[in-house]
């Protein structure tokens, strides 16, 4: 009950969440940490839309029919350069919130998409706007080259 009494410190949305979930022990412990003066409550809020593509229909809906440009990252769990590129793409997508989205396509699960976009090597990154590929690069490239890719993608789509 101490948690419910100290809810006034939180925004109304958090108050509602804590009230509705106090029976959940992990959230109860989390809320106790949040009310403790020595620790701060943090959320890992996603700033932009980052999609994990699940199937071809999902790809069509989230990428091909999207009115906002989408960076499509074709990657694999076993690909080391892919692991290096992914955090950079996520950072860039978050920095351009509202201007572009990021879609992650696991190549081992989506061979049909590989063939459809003629992806022959990974990592392969496409810039797609309204169903049209406007930019593309393959392999691990420098931070500067990725930034130029994003600038070109946004430049072409904002016209």
Q: What residue has token string 């692991």? A: 83
Give the 3-state secondary structure percentages of the chain, helix then strand then coil, rounded to 5: 45, 20, 35
Q: Does the annotation mark 48 as catalytic?
A: no
Catalytic residue among 18, 34, 82, 125: 82
- Residue in 37, 39, 38, 45 with CA at minimum distance from that of residue 13: 45
Q: Does the annotation mark 82 as catalytic?
A: yes
Which phi-psi region, left, alpha or beta, contains residue 98 (left: φ > 0; alpha: ψ -120 to 50)? left
Q: What residue has token string 């959320």? A: 43
**How far is the C-alpha of 10 from the C-alpha of 24, rounded, in Å?**
18
Catalytic residue among 79, 102, 107, 119: 79
Catalytic residues: 79, 82
């Amino acid at each position: 009950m101490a948690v419910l009494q100290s809810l006034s410190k939180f925004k109304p949305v958090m108050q509602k969440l804590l009230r509705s979930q106090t029976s959940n022990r992990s959230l109860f412990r989390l809320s106790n940490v949040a009310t403790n003066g020595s620790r701060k409550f943090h959320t890992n809020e996603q700033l932009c839309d980052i999609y994990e593509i699940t199937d071809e229909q999902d790809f069509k809906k989230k990428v091909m029919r999207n009115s906002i440009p989408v960076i499509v990252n074709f990657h694999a769990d076993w690909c080391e350069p892919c692991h290096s590129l992914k955090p950079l793409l996520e950072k860039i997508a978050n920095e351009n919130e509202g201007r572009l989205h990021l879609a992650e396509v696991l190549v081992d699960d989506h061979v049909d998409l590989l063939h459809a976009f003629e992806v022959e090597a990974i990592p392969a990154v496409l810039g797609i706007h309204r169903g049209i590929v406007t930019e593309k690069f393959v392999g691990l490239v420098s931070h500067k080259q990725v930034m130029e890719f994003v600038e070109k993608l946004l430049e072409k789509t904002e016209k």
